[in-house]
Structure 1
Amino acid sequence: MSVTDPSLSAAHAEVKAEITRTDTKTALLLAFVGAVLAGAFTVARDVPLTVPATVAGGFGLALLVGAVGMLLWSVRPNLSGRHGFPLWATLTAEEIGAAVARDLAADIAGLSRLAVGKFTCLRRAVDLTLTGGALLILAALLTAGGAA
């Protein structure tokens, strides 16, 4: 096995750390959105809503469900075999060492594309969550104000 360039090893570690951070943020946002959805359904069941509040709340809930979909898509396992575990599961110990030494730059590029995809989904989910939350607040204000 050849000696790996330290800058390539550092870049590889950085990309893997970014994927981990993105997955952690995704998990936290997924838990938050789940709690908001549960709370909204509980409140909507117990409070008489006006038509405008129902419409605004319905759109808000739809956006939150869309955010959940984006979050789940961003953490969906990639089993195509291009990087990491699926590829390594098909190799012997010697082949893994040779593949890592030979293809570290390609792995960094592939993992970077994966990280950007995850980050993009997370960003869209945050946008949907903010918009959905704003609509739920509007629905609450319409209900509290008694708008008809």
Structure 2
Amino acid sequence: MSATDSNLTAAHAEVKAEIARTDTKTALLLAFVGAVLAGTWTVARDLPLTAPAAVVGSLGLALLVGAAGLLLRSVRPNLRGRHGFPLWATLTADDIGAAVARDLAADIAGLSRLAVAKFTCLRRAVDLTLTGGALLILAAILALGGAA
């Protein structure tokens, strides 16, 4: 195996590891957002909400729901891809060997674009989660009379 082949194989493994890492982070954040939404609903039902607290809290919940949507979009499979198993499903056994041997660099490029798209959704979801959480804290302060 040449140094170039070795480097391509290492890059391919790195990109696949980054995709797996993103999916793991996404799953953890999705569970966290779900727990925050459930906890907020449980607490908010029992609090006497002022109008400002209800508005701020609703906005915070909306941002958390938006974050959950981005997270779900991030883990949604792309079966129309031209790289990896979606491509291989359209090929014969002989074609797969030839495609893998000649198109490793193209596969790395395609998987890298997929990884960047996943990380972009994850980053936006984290931003929405932070903002939504801050708004929920503000809503709790308003509901408890801290800003009366």
State the TM-score, normalizing by the size of structure 1: 0.94
Q: CA RMSD in A?
A: 1.5
% same residue:
84
In structure 2, what is the equivalent of residue 75 of structure 1?
Answer: 75
In structure 2, what is the equivalent of residue 89 of structure 1?
Answer: 89
Q: Report if aligned partners of 1:71, 1:125 keep a CA contact under 8 Å in 2.
A: yes
In structure 1, what is the equivalent of residue 63 of structure 2?
Answer: 63
Q: Report if aligned partners of 1:56, 1:138 keep a CA contact under 8 Å in 2.
A: yes
Alpha-carbon separation, structure 1, partners of 2:146 and 2:107:
58
Unaligned runs of 5+ in 1: none
Q: 1:14 to 1:79 in 2, by over 3 A?
A: same
TM-superposed CA distance for 1:81, in Å, is 3.6
Which runs of 4 or more aligned residues in structure 1 lie more than 6 Å from their structure 2 counterparts after TM superposition?
none
In structure 2, what is the equivalent of residue 126 of structure 1?
Answer: 126
Alpha-carbon separation, structure 1, partners of 2:143 and 2:128:
22
In structure 2, what is the equivalent of residue 54 of structure 1?
Answer: 54
Relative to structure 2, which stretch is displaced further, 102-111 or 40-49? 40-49
Q: Report if aligned partners of 1:50, 1:146 keep a CA contact under 8 Å in 2.
A: no
In structure 2, what is the equivalent of residue 111 of structure 1?
Answer: 111
Relative to structure 2, which stretch is displaced further, 116-125 or 75-84? 75-84
Unaligned runs of 5+ in 2: none
